[in-house]
């Protein structure tokens, strides 16, 4: 992006963060071709909170109660939950998630984020994975923020079909279909 005037940049910054509240100051400095400090000053002048606070705001706006497992057992931070509809979580890839020689995330963390989100999505006291079909599309690296979305497609006969996609900076890195067994009263589709 070419250099913008301060007013234009701040206006575009507001639009970008409305479209994607999970962009970091580093992401924004790259988009606008300015320093991270400039982005921080722009955010302050526009009363835009930092990334962590934006994530918390999104999470508190769209959140049902997880029923099928304790919240601290979900891998990643749930930022949206509409039981039996859709769930979204965010996982920041840290040192403990990567292979130390190449700083690429270990696949089982991406799978665990997706799988635990599927369990959390269901409006039942018990949900277990019956089967899954997953595909790792692109490597995820140290420092990446993985936004995973689980969407309930069908729920009947004690089985739920859930489609999952994981994105890093709007690029697909993981996808899967999970069949979950649940123990509950309702069998709505």
On whether the CB atoms of residues 87 and 80 are closer than 8 A, the answer is yes
Q: Averaging pLDDT over each range in 20-24, 83-87, 161-165, which range is the top one?
A: 161-165
Give the pairing of strands 145-156 and 77-82: unpaired
Which stretch, 52-61, 71-80, 126-135, 179-188, has highest mean pLDDT? 126-135
Overall pTM > 0.75: no
Confidence at residue 133, expressed as pLDDT on a 0 to 100 scale: 98
Burial 46-62 (b: 16+ CB within 10 A, else e): eebeebeebbeebbeee
- Are 6-56 and 62-183 the same fold in CATH? no
Residue 124 contacts residue 183 (beta carbons within 8 Å): yes
Split at pLDDT 50, 70, 90, the class of 67 is low
| Non-local CB neighbours of 158 within 8 Å, separated by 6+ positions | 181, 182, 183, 187
Domain ranges of the chain: 6-56, 62-183
**Assigned CATH topology for domain 62-183:** Thiol Ester Dehydrase; Chain A (3.10.129)
Average pLDDT over the chain reads 87
Confidence check: pLDDT of 96 > 90: yes
Average pLDDT over residues 38-45: 89
Cα(128)–Cα(35) distance, integer angstroms? 46
- Facing residues of 146 across strands? 91
Q: Please give the structure tokens belonging to residue 21.
A: 């509240």
Joined tokens for residue 89: 């979580």
For the 6-56 domain, the top CATH level (class) is: mainly alpha
């Amino acid at each position: 992006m070419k250099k913008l005037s301060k007013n234009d940049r701040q206006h575009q910054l507001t639009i970008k963060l409305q479209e994607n509240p999970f962009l970091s100051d580093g992401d924004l400095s790259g988009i606008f071709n300015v320093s991270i400090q400039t982005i921080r000053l722009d955010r302050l002048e526009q009363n835009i909170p930092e990334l962590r606070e934006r994530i918390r705001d999104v999470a508190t706006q769209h959140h049902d109660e997880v029923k099928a497992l304790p919240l601290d057992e979900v891998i990643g931070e749930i930022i949206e939950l509409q039981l039996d509809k859709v769930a979204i979580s965010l996982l920041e890839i840290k040192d403990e998630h990567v292979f130390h020689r190449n700083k690429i995330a270990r696949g089982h963390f991406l799978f665990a984020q997706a799988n635990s989100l599927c369990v959390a999505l269901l409006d039942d006291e018990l949900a277990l994975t019956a089967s899954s079909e997953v595909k790792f599309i692109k490597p995820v690296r140290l420092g990446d923020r993985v936004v995973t979305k689980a969407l309930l497609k069908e729920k009947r006969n004690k089985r739920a079909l859930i489609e999952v996609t994981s994105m890093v900076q709007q690029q697909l890195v993981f996808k899967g279909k999970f069949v979950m067994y649940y123990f509950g009263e309702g069998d709505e589709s």
